[in-house]
Amino acid sequence: MSTSGKVIKCKAAISWEPKKPFSIEEVEVAPPKAHEVRIKILATGICRSDDHVMSGALTVPFPIILGHEAAGIVESVGEGVTCVKPGDKVIPLFVPQCGECSSCISSKGNLCTTNDIGAVRSLMKDGTTRFTCKGKQIHQFISTSTFTEYTVVHETAVVKIDAGAPPEKVCLIGCGFSTGYGAAVNTAKVERGSTCAVFGLGGVGLSVVMGCKAAGASRIIGIDINKDKFAKAKELGATECINPQDFTKPIEDVLKELTGGNGVDYSFEVIGRTDTMTAALASCHMNYGMSVIVGVPPSASKITYPAMLLFTGRTWKGSIFGGWKSKDSVPKLVADYMGKKFNLDALITHTLPFDKINEGFELLREGKSIRTVLLF
């Protein structure tokens, strides 16, 4: 029986307040309004950014349905939607692409001004939500909200992909893989023969490693305090790995020594800590080095650093969603995966049923997983 135009009751993982486990609840998902799309989620990844919300590091309104790295099938569309139709396999986009704002029009940017990342509202464009639970309105997360069997997104925040693509793999293209890989190939534009340092070897950090390798970097130094991640990093392209806790001197000094006193050509901070952001900047070449911030910083964080680090010529850049224009790039990345141009499988260490979401987050916090994918 068709569900189009009707309220759907389904399971969702609700975060009622920070620092508390997810609660699996029955929610009501309203039909899509004009220019909106309702999606049946098939698979969703657990990303560190979701955990930043749970820990209170990222400030959002509660209660909320998190999740932003997913793949699914279009269940129904609202009036005026022409970019997708019911039955299409899709990936929701936490960085939308309206095609009309300054960032969308410019070849230099990708952060569509319709995003819900900076000035967070956690609502649809009309100022309301499509989720209700126990009579309460539930907020939506960065244009997506994928920790639910059904979600509603604006048409600018969804794109059709290859119907044959495995959702439990390509969901990573919705965030983790694209964010890391693109930071290397798009934002930094790593050159063949260059030296790179990657701070943080989680799912996104390892995707940076993959991007540096694909770009032809001759030396890729992985940095993490969890040595259990070193073998995977080397498998994916790291030439060596170091643990900052093995040294008495600052990690930037260690990296300079490893590179003959010069520092690396490119460094990437993929943790989200202001101290490692500054260390990553200091570790790259004092004149032409580039350091890229990939990890999501806490909402209230500020950075203090010696101004001379930039005065001598270094470049400090931020990278969101790897610099990809989402609607244009996601289908191409899925096609590249299907064409075996890169391997997402190596990033997925755990696959769990959706109702074990809290277990998945514990694996992340304990450093036992790279990417956990939840299946519905």
The mean pLDDT value for 188-198 works out to 98
Q: What is the pLDDT of residues 227-239, one digit of tens each?
A: 999 999 999 999 9
Q: How far apart are CA 376 and CA 373, in angstroms?
A: 10
| Residue 68 falls in the annotated catalytic set | yes
Q: How far apart are CA 272 and CA 48, in angstroms?
A: 10
Residue 124, CA distances (Å) to 7, 121, 305, 325 in order: 17, 8, 38, 21
Global model pTM greater than 0.85: yes
Q: Which residue has the tokens 């010529």?
A: 313
| Residue 35 falls in the annotated catalytic set | no
Token output for 178:
């694209």
Q: What is the pLDDT of residues 58-86, one digit of tens each?
A: 889 999 999 999 999 999 999 999 999 99
Catalytic residue among 68, 139, 154, 285: 68
Q: How confident is the model at residue 15 (pLDDT cuts 50, 70, 90)?
A: very high
pLDDT recorded at residue 111? 96
Q: How confident is the model at residue 1 (pLDDT cuts 50, 70, 90)?
A: low
Q: How far apart are CA 218 and CA 200, in angstroms?
A: 19
| Residue 350 falls in the annotated catalytic set | no
- pLDDT exceeds 90 at position 8: yes
DSSP per residue over 36-103, as a string? EEEEEEEEEE--HHHHHHHHTSS---SSEE----EEEEEEEE-TT--S--TT-EEEE-SS---SSSHH
User: SS3 for 309?
Assistant: helix
CB 205 within 8 A of CB 268: yes
Q: How far apart are CA 177 and CA 170, in angstroms?
A: 9
- pLDDT exceeds 80 at position 105: yes
Bridge partners (DSSP) of residue 73 are: 40, 89
Q: What is the pLDDT of residues 36-63, one digit of tens each?
A: 999 999 999 999 999 999 998 888 999 9
Token output for 303:
């950075």
pLDDT recorded at residue 298? 80
| Domain segments of the chain as ranges | 177-322, 346-375
Catalytic residue among 104, 112, 171, 175: 175
The mean pLDDT value for 236-252 works out to 97
User: SS3 for 246?
Assistant: helix
Q: How far apart are CA 176 and CA 55, in angstroms?
A: 19
| Residue 139 falls in the annotated catalytic set | no
Catalytic residue among 15, 52, 284, 326: 52
- pLDDT exceeds 80 at position 300: no
Q: What is the pLDDT of residues 139-181, one digit of tens each?
A: 999 999 999 999 999 999 999 999 999 999 999 999 999 999 9
Catalytic residue among 15, 49, 122, 283: 49
In the CATH hierarchy, which fold is given to the domain comprising 177-322?
A: Rossmann fold (3.40.50)
Q: Look at strands 70-77 and 8-14 and give their pairing.
A: unpaired
Q: What is the mean pLDDT of the chain?
A: 96
| Residue 154 falls in the annotated catalytic set | no
Catalytic residue among 15, 47, 122, 284: 47
- pLDDT exceeds 80 at position 373: yes
3-state DSSP percent of the chain in helix, strand and coil, to 5? 30, 25, 45
